[in-house]
Amino acid sequence: MALKVELKPRERIIIGQVVIRNDEQRTRFFIEGDAPILREKDIFTPATADSPAKKIYLAIQLMYLAQDPMYQHQVYFELVRDFVQAAPSSLPHIHEINNRILSSDLYKALKAAKKLIAYEAELIENATRV
């Protein structure tokens, strides 16, 4: 079954190792095959990964897009160790992400990392209220 994708004007998408940028009008296409796919709204860069949880997401994103995801494992585990030391209550989120990575479901690991980013924002909001 093909994946239907609609791109807004000038929106980008990564398919495998290729970045595709749309022209000036809305476009719809179908992707057949097995390749990592990320829409622009789900793509982090080193500049936009401006918090510890976002850096974890970026490491997982690089694993997801890489031909050899092992090359990011050390960076990922160092970031996770530091994050859990700072916020031990995040452990359930980290367990979910780790389980997704260990089962080679990196796309779902990215989705779980989005939850970690939201949790981090909640922790920061609660800390700044005090």
Whether 43 contacts 14, CB under 8 Å: yes
Quote the pTM value: 0.91
What pLDDT is attached to residue 130? 64
Q: What is the pLDDT of residues 27-82, one digit of tens each?
A: 999 999 889 999 999 999 999 999 999 999 999 999 999 988 888 899 999 999 99
Using CA atoms, how far residue 75 sits from 4, 16, 70, 123, in Å, is 33, 21, 10, 23
Task: Report how far apart the first and last C-alpha atoms of the chain are (Å, whole number).
Answer: 51
